[in-house]
Amino acid sequence: MNTPETLILRELLAHEDRFVSGTLLAAKAKMSRVAIWQHMEKLRAQGFEFEAVRSRGYRLTAKPGELNATLIKAYLPLRDRGLTITVLDEVDSTNDEAARELAAGRSVPFLVLARRQTGGRGRFGRRWLSEPNGNLYASFAFRPKVEPVRMQTFTLWMGANLCDLIANFCRVAPGLKWPNDLLFSGRKAGGMLTEARIDSDQIRDLVFGLGLNLRTPPGGWPEELSTRATALDAHAAEPVEVNKFTAALCGRVLLAYERFIRGDHADVLADLWNRHDVLRGERISALHGAHRITGTAAGIDEEGCLLLRTDRGRVERLRAGEVTLEKRLI
């Protein structure tokens, strides 16, 4: 459902910095001009600024720089407007919040965004530092109704799609380190965490979480991260507007999700992954069962397993776990 504020904003954005008459806005939002004025006041309270000229109407002069659900909705492509969006100031983890809301019966698809997480989580339960500094902490929620076995390649597919999307905003394309890291020049800019609740033979619901560094911290990265972390702003072609970027992210995630559910992603996954894979051809080691094995990364197979060619020429398939590069890339 679009709120009147979203409808008004969409109209003003479509006219860029030109004036839009109150009559046109009233017709688009199907309400009186007085009601339009009241909704403009609500938008002002959210940080939007307008110029109002009696004979010409309204012109948008400033947008909030912080995450704003109304603005993200206004930027969303037509076909993605079934998505509902919540922006929270603070939450333990957007993945946990999305799971709670799924359990409470909220309609899908929806997106939970937070300006700050107090218990942001990464793989293996690791802490995901989530300061309120303009980075993205986002969780998309779905009810896929597919067999659990189909989800093996989900995070890889989403990651490859996100790399493609992020490349559109940057001077250089990001890379992917199997299975869930987004990197620029060997430094981590983001990570993904997919969590599903499974009934006996079906996925009940699924949360796809993304943490993405959009801005380098004002004082630079803390010492321990300075050689390992990076943010989009250091690689972007021009300053990234967080709400516009988030709308583009929503569009890509929903499109990728639909393809995944239809199953017509399978033929292109390997190609897309290979385009962004930073491990391919590199010397790596990984835990395989109880043993550490070493060899050369050789891409992924159709089940999303990482292929590792050992020095004896044997190809091992890694289904899960963590990979270490011999030449330190991250």
Q: Establish if 177 lies at the interface with ligand BTN (CB under 6 A).
A: no
Q: Establish if 120 lies at the interface with ligand BTN (CB under 6 A).
A: yes
- CB closer to ligand BTN, 40 vs 193: 193
Nearest CA to 142 among 68, 302, 250, 272?
250
Residue environment code for 176-196, b if the CB has 16+ CB neighbours within 10 A, otherwise e: bbbbbbbbbebbbbbbbbbbb
Q: Residues with Cβ < 8 Å from 300, sequence gap 6 or more?
A: 156, 178, 269, 270, 273, 277, 306, 307
- CB closer to ligand BTN, 11 vs 205: 205
Binder among 211, 251, 295, 304 for ligand BTN (CB under 6 A):
211
**Minimum separation from the CB atom of position 179 to ligand BTN (A):** 10
Q: Establish if 121 lies at the interface with ligand BTN (CB under 6 A).
A: yes
**Minimum separation from the CB atom of position 31 to ligand BTN (A):** 36
Q: List, in sequence order, every beta strand (DSSP E) within the chain.
A: 49-53, 57-62, 84-88, 110-114, 136-142, 175-177, 181-184, 187-198, 203-212, 283-288, 291-300, 306-310, 315-318, 323-325
Q: Which among 64-72, 187-195, 252-260, 308-316 is the span making contact with ligand BTN, rule CB under 6 A?
A: 187-195
> Would you mind telling me the total number of residues written for the chain in this entry?
330
Q: Which among 74-82, 91-99, 141-149, 247-255 is the span making contact with ligand BTN, rule CB under 6 A?
A: 91-99
Q: Which among 27-35, 77-85, 208-216, 243-251 is the span making contact with ligand BTN, rule CB under 6 A?
A: 208-216
Binder among 6, 68, 70, 93 for ligand BTN (CB under 6 A):
93
Q: Which among 45-53, 118-126, 145-153, 266-274 is the span making contact with ligand BTN, rule CB under 6 A?
A: 118-126
Place of tokens 């965004």: 113
Strands 110-114 and 84-88, bridge-based pairing:
parallel
Q: Establish if 6 lies at the interface with ligand BTN (CB under 6 A).
A: no
Q: Residues with Cβ < 8 Å from 38, sequence gap 6 or more?
A: none
Q: Establish if 95 lies at the interface with ligand BTN (CB under 6 A).
A: yes
How far is it, in rounded angstroms, from Cα 324 to Cα 330? 9
Q: Establish if 37 lies at the interface with ligand BTN (CB under 6 A).
A: no
Q: Where on the chain is the footprint of ligand BTN (CB under 6 A)?
A: 93-95, 117, 120-123, 126, 128, 137-139, 180-181, 191-193, 209-211
